[in-house]
Amino acid sequence: MPRLVMKFGGTSVADLDRIRNVARHVEREVKAGYDVAVVVSAMAGKTNELVAWCREASMIHDAREYDAVVASGEQVTAGLLAIVLQSIGIPARSWQGWQIPIETSGAHGSARILGIDGSKISAHFEERREVAVVAGFQGVHAPTGRIATLGRGGSDTSAVALAAALEAERCDIYTDVDGVYTTDPRIVSKAKRLDKVSYEEMLEMASLGAKVLQVRSVELAMLYGVKTYVRSSFDDPTDPKPGTLICDEEDIVEQQTVTGIAYSKDEAQITLRRVADTPGVAASIFVPLADAAINVDMIIQVVSRDHATTDITFTVPAGDYARARTLLEELQPKIGYESLEGATDVVKVSAIGVGMRSHAGVAAKAFKALADKGVNIRAITTSEIKFSMLIDAAYTELAVRTLHSLYGLDAA
């Protein structure tokens, strides 16, 4: 029988009524002839509550015990969904990550999946025609036998990895939206749901602020060719909408130059003034930041007329801004900059589309359009299928709306 993996996020399983609704979605696919594995998140708000309890117990706590606590949210949901499925006549059992097993690295709180053995679940499919309800977001660090969690959004990654391991026909990610949109519908009312989007475009969208899927889940889908749908769990289970298919670029017949506009408020800007323009100076800045696990995104270097000094501007996640600033201030004697300036009231706005590969001047149109609206661009980065601009946060909505219209997405 064909296999299907379904994943339901926290809002989809927020209470027992919604879990019963999820069970109806699962029932539909079982009756359609699929062997189904369901990956579930914790009930909405539960993970935050568990994290808060850990911090209340002790601000400095063992990451292994933290994982043991926060992983319990998904385990509760998996058990409840299995009970509900059984109550409507569908054989089901819950699985925790270590029971499958999903093997992970030992980076507790942000572990990466190293491998999944799907043979046990496959055996239950063949012998018992039983739905596997899997607790997402978690696995086991084999050398220690300890539970390890995958970081926020990790249930998406669990689902895609499981789909690859089971050689599933597809992986359906159910959320509170009915697909991937050209931009945030809360900002642009004319935003349209995309029927299809390529893995590469979705990877860029996810990394640049679109919160529909976790970045790692898209990486795995692309690596293993897992066809992934983003769908709404709030659709009528008897008549669901198709959602958005994330697939190979070759599977998309018509491709627009720009597919979507994303934005990220999780940005902070740091500028080091009058740094000596000598070999190794960039390493003296960015190696310590990397060693501190602070991700650097945009980097701009402007050399002075006498080529003796340079100004270096870069961005870091807003949550790491204070830590990055403190680190650089401590390194000032070694780096030798004259002053450090910072800003947290900035936003990164990006345009993404594989069509950029074959079209010239796509970014230039955006620069002119924003200039005409009085929007100043602080920094720019580009790649083959996207460009990003750092702007003042006050102009976020204006910039997103302007670009959405500029590239014809209002009428997409």
Residue 252: HSE in the Cβ half-sphere, 13 Å Cα cutoff: 23
| 9 labelled binding-site residue | yes
Rounded Cα–Cα distance for residues 389 and 351 (Å): 9
| 74 labelled binding-site residue | yes
Rounded Cα–Cα distance for residues 310 and 235 (Å): 55
Contact 73, 66 (CB under 8 A): no
| 120 labelled binding-site residue | no
Rounded Cα–Cα distance for residues 325 and 409 (Å): 39
| 153 labelled binding-site residue | no
SS3 content of the chain, % helix, strand, coil (to 5): 40, 25, 35
Residue-wise burial string across 383-412, b where 16 or more C-beta atoms lie within 10 A, e elsewhere: eebbbbbbbeeebbebbbbbbbebbebbeb
- By CB atoms closer than 10 A (0-12, 13-18, 19+), residue 69 is middle
What DSSP letter does each residue of 387-410 carry, written as one string?
EEEEEEGGGHHHHHHHHHHHTTGG
Rounded Cα–Cα distance for residues 85 and 88 (Å): 5
Q: Which two tokens stand for residue 53?
A: 């309890």
| 181 labelled binding-site residue | yes
| 47 labelled binding-site residue | yes
Q: Which two tokens stand for residue 205?
A: 């969208």
**Which residue in the block uniquely carries the two structure tokens 């359906």?**
172
| 266 labelled binding-site residue | no
> Under 8 Å CB-to-CB from 36, ≥6 apart: which residues?
3, 4, 5, 6, 26, 29, 30, 131, 132
Q: Which two tokens stand for residue 89?
A: 């006549």
| 112 labelled binding-site residue | no
- By CB atoms closer than 10 A (0-12, 13-18, 19+), residue 17 is exposed
What DSSP letter does each residue of 164-187 carry, written as one string?
HHHT-SEEEEEESSSS-BSS-TTT
Rounded Cα–Cα distance for residues 399 and 403 (Å): 6
| 373 labelled binding-site residue | no
Rounded Cα–Cα distance for residues 4 and 36 (Å): 5
Q: Which residues are annotated as a binding site?
A: 7-10, 47, 74, 175-176, 181, 186, 211-212
Extract the annotated binding site for ATP. 7-10, 175-176, 181, 186, 211-212
Q: Which residues are annotated as a binding site for substrate?
A: 47, 74
